[in-house]
Amino acid sequence: MPERPFYQPGASSVEGLPMALQMFHNHPLVMLKPHWHAQVEVNFIVRGSVHYRMAEHEIALSAGEMCLFWGGLPHQMDDLSDDAIYAGAHLPLVHFFRLHLPTDIRHRLMTGATLVTSATDPADHHNFERWNRYFRSGDPAITEHAVNELLLRLERVRFEPYRLVPETASQETGGPFDQQSLRNVGRMCDFIAENFLYDVDCVDIAAAADIHPKYAMSIFKKSTGMTLNEYMNLLRLSYAQALLMHEDANVLRVAMDSGFGSLSAFNKSFRKLAGMSPSDFRRGTVGR
């Protein structure tokens, strides 16, 4: 029996472009290791079945089911049927914050829960295929139309049956946000997206949104469950894992190219997120 192909991050993958909006409609590949990225992920199972290992839970989905989760926590599609087809998107936070979802859902997703719904219909099969085609059209107006339709589809979740896995929430809850606060968070995300590889701090980020640094840190933490530094590190680590896949990758060079000021800071942040050192991560994937 031929060996099953597996997923491997690269420079043009979601990990290597941690702030990119991407849409897809294809046959998924088994992941040998958990990965992470700085987008919220939407998966609609078109055909067959898949199994996910999330940070602290597992989920099995079959055709017609859809899930939504925060990709910033390590996750892995570790099994799937031979006929599996899935569709969906990787949504940067600036798009995720445009969604009109109940505050508790947004907070639960950002702190590790997965939203799952079986309330789909044949239109979803056609729409996900069309949104992917629109996204790849090369026309910005058509792409924007696809994104807007997708966001409206996701907002429909609140009117239909869904479940959050795990069922129990953490003690911490996110408070309600007005539209101005969400716009400020979006402006900070935009600035971070353009500058995460450089030496910037919370003062620079707050200035981009024209707000006080303490207020910036407060609303960002409440809306995402992360500090500004944690989010910045996540983008850098997402970028770094793609660089580590190169045959000639040097861990020190990857640390510097990913925006970390020192190898020790890179090792500490990488180990905290991935549960292993960058060197061990590289050894376990390159050449497989």
Domain ranges of the chain: 6-165, 179-283
Query: What is the reported pTM?
Result: 0.81
Asked if the domains 6-165 and 179-283 are classified in one and the same CATH topology, the answer is: no
pLDDT of residue 100: 85
pLDDT string in tens for the chain (288-residue length):
456 678 776 656 788 777 788 999 999 999 988 888 889 999 999 999 999 999 889 999 999 999 999 998 899 999 999 999 999 999 988 788 788 888 788 888 988 899 999 999 999 999 999 999 999 999 999 999 999 999 999 999 999 999 999 987 654 444 555 677 878 888 898 898 889 999 999 999 999 999 999 999 999 888 888 899 999 998 899 888 888 877 788 999 999 999 998 999 999 999 988 888 999 888 765 544
Closest CA to 219 of 178, 248, 255, 260: 178
pLDDT of residue 173: 47
pLDDT of residue 1: 42
Long-range contacts of 186-192 (CB under 8 A, 24+ apart): 186/93, 186/94, 186/97, 186/98, 188/216, 188/220, 188/228, 189/19, 189/92, 189/93, 189/94, 189/97, 190/94, 192/19, 192/228, 192/231, 192/232, 192/235
What would the DSSP string read from start to end of 66-79? EEEEETTS-BEEEE
CATH superfamily ID and name for 6-165: Jelly Rolls (2.60.120.10)
Q: What is the 3-state secondary structure (H, E, C) of 209-273?
A: CCCCHHHHHHHHHHHHCCCHHHHHHHHHHHHHHHHCCCCCCCHHHHHHHCCCCCHHHHHHHHHHH
| In this structure, CATH architecture of domain 179-283 | Orthogonal Bundle (1.10)
What is the chain's alpha carbon radius of gyration, rounded to the nearest angstrom? 19
